[in-house]
Amino acid sequence: MIPVLALIPLPPETGDALRGRARILRPDEPEAGSAEAVITDGARGLSAAEIADLPRLSHVASASAGMEGIDREALARRSIVLSNVGPALAEEVADHAMMLLLAAWKGLLAGHEHVRSGAWSREGPAPLGRALAGRTLGILGLGGIGTAIARRAEPFGLRVLYHSRVPRPVRWGHVADPVQLARASDILAVAVPGGEATRGLVSDAVIDALGPGGVLVNVARGSVVDEPALIEALAAGRLGAAGLDVFASEPDPDPRLVGLPNVVLSPHAGSATQETRVAMARMVAENILAHAEGRPLPGAI
């Protein structure tokens, strides 16, 4: 059986799929150092020191799409395989991104309050909004989630552009720089991995390039956006609105951000459906078993 070190609690579906085929080890067990695989996630991570203490390690399976806490350079030095569950959650997160996009662009919260407060009957109809069709959606990061967002955007009449480090063989236009992408976009959706490589990628310059009519949607990680700059821009009207599923400080976002009327807030719930969480749990196990058996990994990085 495969010795697997679990650094996070495992959902029942993961344990069921590995039962009889893997021996689950806990960090406080004497045998933990013999692990050939580790299950962790982006938040718990896996440090270089921890990797060094696992001489037989050949595979690290992230139970999330995030991998920001995993020392990928240390893995690469030993040719240790890394996988995640991105394919299991990409469609769900893309649905969530479109919900935030539509709510922020269409001013759903303002309309909701207009009805709820009685202003509709006292003051008449709410101000007119803006059509979505014919606008440009820029996607920062065209991995599985970004691609799923792009596919959903086209039926709404959105033109799609994207930025990634390497251009992809896709029908959407590649833009070489995040600032240029924001300048060309009405809406900017952020779908890049977290971690130091992308920290502050959505800078004050990117936010200013998106402009006072623009909308920012973030379903990636809070660290990717310069949050103080975002708060300033939203408060000053230099950015029109934002739809945010992630924040720099979770689960306690900056009160200044929470208090803004032009922000749609979601509690890091992009993948939070029963069906998707089950699929994620099963993919962790499938990645472990596929690597041990020499098969292609469904969540290979």
Residue 44 is a catalytic residue:
no
Residue 29 is a catalytic residue:
no
**From its phi and psi, is residue 100 left (phi > 0), alpha (psi between -120 and 50) or beta?**
alpha
> Which is catalytic among the residues 96, 183, 221, 282?
221
Concatenate the DSSP letters of all residues of 52-74 into one string. HT-TT--EEEESSS--TTB-HHH
H or E stretch including 162? strand 159-163
Compute the residue count for the chain: 301
Nearest Cα to 268, choosing from 295, 287, 248? 248
Residues paired with residue 59 on neighbouring β-strands, in sequence order: 37, 81
Residues paired with residue 70 on neighbouring β-strands, in sequence order: 46
Helices (H) and strands (E) in the chain, counts: 12, 12
Q: Rounded CA gap, 17 and 71, in Å?
A: 27
Residue 221 is a catalytic residue:
yes
Which positions are catalytic? 221, 250, 268
